[in-house]
A and B are shown apart, each in its own frame.
Chain A
Amino acid sequence: MSENAKKDYLCEAVPPFTIATAMEEASRCLLCLDAPCSQDCPAGTNPGDFIRAIRFRNFKGAAEIIRTNNVLGGICARVCPYEVLCEEACSRTGIDKPIQIGRLQRFATDYEKASGFEPLEKVEATKEKVAMIGSGPASLTCGAELAQKGYAVTIFEEKAIPGGVLSYGVVPARLPQYIVDEEIELVKSLGVDIVCNTKIGKDKSIEDLKNDGYKAFFIGAGIQAPKMLNIPGTDLDGVTNAVEYLGSAKPSNGKIEPGSKVVVIGGGDVAMDCATTSRQIGSEKTMILYRRTREEAPAHKIEMSYVEELGVHMHYGFTPEEIVGKDGKVVAIKGKGFRDDSMIQLECDKVIFAIGQQPDDSVKSIADIKFSPKNTIVADEEEDCKTDVPYIFAGGDIVNGGKTVVQAVAVGKTAAESIEAYLSKEAK
């Protein structure tokens, strides 16, 4: 995504299409039979059809196709790893390069906003009450779909702002907060209530909600707890993790203490996001410590090049051994060779762990359902999102262990179908 990246923290990296440039791009589309791009969108957003609509200057119709299939279409347009989804499948690759599907999707949803077009019609809530636990993309989608089927939906979120990782994880250069806010408003406008500052399992229990009349539950709690390494010094002042770092930078528009010499541990996209963020909000020097080689790093290479362009020092082949402190504060990190006996010591005042997230034990207090040994909820999210309790459904990161936003959207749709089927059967 960083092809045209700008170096400003709050600046959306990829510029938008205008009508003229969107038409040019849509004219490149081959308008394929059984469009492969559509087949490869997990959420069924149907790019084949919406690009065709753009091509025939039916811009609002394009927005309508997107929204009816994927209520978070403007968000997905920005955060999806399309190069491994729809764009990877694109037939145009056989001629030169794939259609920029994500950007066209963004064009259509931007147009929708600019023209004040509202593609979806609110449905009166006449059916049962359903609760969503967590307000990430899985719950937002499931809630919107159920509200459109006539259910009375409330989303409960433990944090002060809704959106899950969308609001506190994905960097503004990829997903500005105003887009998240607008799409959450869209979900609300369909009749979905969002109650923040309410942790289910602590402030309220599922039993309480049952007493309040809720008949079915969807758990889209995501995974928030950072994975840490069991090495000396992780409790020092200055040691943090990706979710905390990115999650405090985004709501404050980057106004946090960046750290002057920052070491990011990890080699995935989130590690790159942390490195980029630290540079953009003013670190003096940022370093990445990753145990394998550049080739083995799971981050997108284009993101890595961008990080390198920003002057981040990449240290491959080292695994952290100890964080060194002085007066309770971080002053350095020591690493040793992952595959040899090399040694490294980097001076720093901030260490960010970006080696992944895992569910913490508190998820078990949400409901008495079956969990895997890794603390994820046991459910088949491709099939029906059912847990072992008939009225409780689950999906998204808390089930799959951490995938993508578009996967969460896909699951939200599956769960809504499944909840409808369950409640219709109960009603009989």
Chain B
Amino acid sequence: MNKRKHADLSVDFLGFKCENPFMLSSSPVAANYEMCSKFLEAGGGGVVFKTIGTYIPDECSPRFDHVRKEGQPFLGFKNMEQISDHPYEENMHFLRQLKKDYPTKCLIVSIMGSNEEDWTKLAKDVTEAGADIIECNFSCPQMTQENMGSDVGANIELIEKFTKATLAGTDVPIMLKMTPNIELMEVPATAAIKAGGHAIAAINTIKAITHIDLDQMTALPVVNGKSSVSGYSGAAAKPIALRFIANMKQDPFLKDIPISGIGGIETWEDCAEFISLGCTNLQFTTSVMQYGFRVVEDMISGLSIWMEEKGYKSIDDFCGKALNNIVPAEDLERDFKVYPKIDYDKCVGCGRCYISCFDGAHQAITWDAENRKVEIDEDKCVGCQLCLHVCPVADCITPGKVVFKPEDQFGLGSEAKYVEGGPNKRDIIVGQYDE
């Protein structure tokens, strides 16, 4: 059968024409030839090879933990790994082989040194081995040595020094991978670009403690009775990544600097979100650790079908399109409220909206215990829509009537133009019982 043709996903990243923006991020998922090759065969546009350093780290065991909520596993993932544990020469061999066998795929190589000589040597060697782009890892939060990892990402002086040292060893574009363990990423990113870097990769993992083992009284994972603060990734990281990226893309100095988006990417919708904030390259690890390289198949299919239907001919057509609509809180229009609307045909009478509105909002829902019927009291309702978020039935509570507040204190009427659309807009109700 003939699938309909879908939109082209190819995109230019730092001068490299990638067939699509989907790449493994630097981590154990891209640690050797076989893994990278399997991912590229599954359709990936390229890989960011696991961070190569000048020494082999000594890893702990166990080294992972994950966070669940109710039944869902892997909301967030914690790891205590460091950089590549393959011998240097073996890594160079993997890189040469990858470039030879997959010349059209984008080979990005992550490196990390502890001093300027290291950075220059690493850059030189991986360039010779075939790297199309170098990613400087300024951001691993669990390095055991000084002046490495996220220590660098939070230190302007080191960023400048190591960026320059890297440039001294290579003629390929370089991208700086940032740590989220700071307040403003614009600052180190600007320093890195001013020092000669070409692009930003964000984010690396977030310093975290996922759980405490209440018997052993230490964090998870427990390494012989002890544990450490270390990097958190996966779905929980996405909102944090998106905000750093939006901030950088809205920064007057950084706005045209290419960004590779990382953090919790699992579905094509995640990809579309990062692109809408201006990313032209996308990397992921945790989703692959949970599900395997095949996640890329649905990214390719889902994104290209969606773009086709939206009429986007290329990634550039919607890249950064959401940026203008993300404004400072003080610029939001505040002169109307949107009441929730309850669809009583769908309501199952659970009363969750009542509970949340009473205990967590404005006591604006009434409860008829006899009939298990909820009703919104428009005099009290502030339109926060907490009820809509907690209702367990799809599309039962939706954004309803828009009401403009009375004239403001200066006696001015509203000039707001309300744009239709609510949080459930992408979800079309399907299925029917009968005709």
Counting residue pairs across A and B whose Cβ atoms lie within 8 Å, the total is 109
Is B298 a contact partner of A10 (Cβ separation < 8 A)?
A: no
- Please tell me if the beta carbons of B433 and A64 are within 8 angstroms of each other in the complex: no
| A 86-124 contacts with B by CB, 8 A | 106-107, 110-111, 113-115, 117-121, 123
Within 8 A of B (CB), among A165-182: 176, 178
| B residues adjacent to A (C-beta < 8 A) | 1-5, 71-72, 266-269, 291, 294-295, 298-299, 301-302, 305-306, 309, 392-395, 427-435
For B395, list chain A residues within 8 Å (CB).
Answer: 18
Q: Take A12-B434, A56-B266, A111-B430 as given contacts and tell me if A61 and B298 are in contact as well, using a CB distance cutoff of 8 Å.
A: yes
Query: Contact partner of A53 among B71, B298, B393, B429, CB < 8 A?
Result: B298
| Bound-complex Cα distance A53 to B302 (A) | 8
Q: Would A19 and B2 be within 8 Å (CB), given that A56-B302, A57-B302, A64-B305 are in contact?
A: no
- Given A12-B434, A27-B72, A114-B3 contact (CB < 8 Å): no
- Which residue of chain B is the closest to A10 with respect to CB atoms? B434
CA distance A178 to B433 in the complex (A): 12
Q: What CA separation (Å) do A192 and B301 show in the bound complex?
A: 27
Instruction: Mark interface residues in A48-59 (1 if CB within 8 Å of B CB, else 0).
Output: 000011001110
- Is A21 engaged at the interface, CB distance under 8 Å to the other chain? yes
| Bound CA–CA A44/B280 (angstroms) | 36
Q: Does A214 contact B (CB under 8 A)?
A: no
**CB <8 Å contact, B267 and A58:** yes
A351 to B433: give the CA distance in the assembly, Å. Answer: 31
With A56-B266, A60-B302: A19-B427 Cβ-Cβ less than 8 Å = yes
- The answer for the CA separation of A19 and B1 in the assembled complex, in Å, is 27
A-B contacts, 14 of them at CB < 8 A, read: A10-B435, A18-B394, A18-B429, A58-B302, A58-B305, A64-B305, A68-B2, A69-B1, A107-B431, A110-B430, A114-B431, A115-B428, A120-B1, A120-B4
Give the docked Cα–Cα distance between A115 and B71 (Å).
Answer: 30
Q: Which residues of B contact A115 (CB under 8 A)?
A: 428
Q: Which chain B positions have C-beta within 8 A of A107?
A: 430-431
B267 with A119: CB separation less than 8 A: no
CB distance from A114 to the nearest CB of B (A): 4
Q: Which of chain B's residues have a CB closer than 8 A to the CB of A21? A: 394
B contact residues around A391 at 8 Å (CB): none
Give Cα A89 to B60, complex, Å: 39
Q: In the complex, which range does the number of interface residues on chain A fall in?
A: 35 or more
Query: Is A67 in the interface zone, CB < 8 Å from B?
Result: yes
Q: Once the chains bind, are B3 and A58 in contact (CB under 8 Å)?
A: no
- B291: nearest chain-A partner, CB-CB: A31
Question: What residue of chain B has the Cβ atom nearest to residue A65's Cβ?
Answer: B301
With a cutoff of 8 Å between Cβ atoms, the chain B residues found around residue A118 in the complex are 4
Q: Does A148 contact B (CB under 8 A)?
A: yes
Which residues in A have their C-beta under 8 angstroms from that of B306? 60
Q: CB distance B434 to A121 under 8 Å?
A: no
A16 touching B302 in the complex, CB below 8 Å, given contacts A121-B3, A148-B2: no
Whole-angstrom CA separation of A110 from B394 in the bound complex: 16
B433–A57 CB distance below 8 A = no
Q: Give chain B residues whose Cβ lies under 8 Å from the Cβ of A67.
A: 1
Q: How far is the CB of B311 from chain A (nearest CB, A)?
A: 14
Are A16 and B4 in contact (CB-based, < 8 A)? no
A15 touches B431 (CB 8 A): yes
- Judging by beta carbons under 8 Å apart, are B431 and A110 in contact? yes
Contact B394 A121 (CB under 8 A): no
Is the Cβ of A19 less than 8 Å from the Cβ of B305?
Answer: no
Is B305 within 8 A of A117, CB to CB?
Answer: yes
State A56–B306 Cα separation when bound (angstroms): 14
Q: Is the CB of B4 within 8 A of A119?
A: yes
A11 in contact with B291 (CB, 8 Å): no
Contact present for B430 and A68 (CB under 8 Å): no
Question: B427: which A residues are within 8 A, CB to CB?
Answer: 19
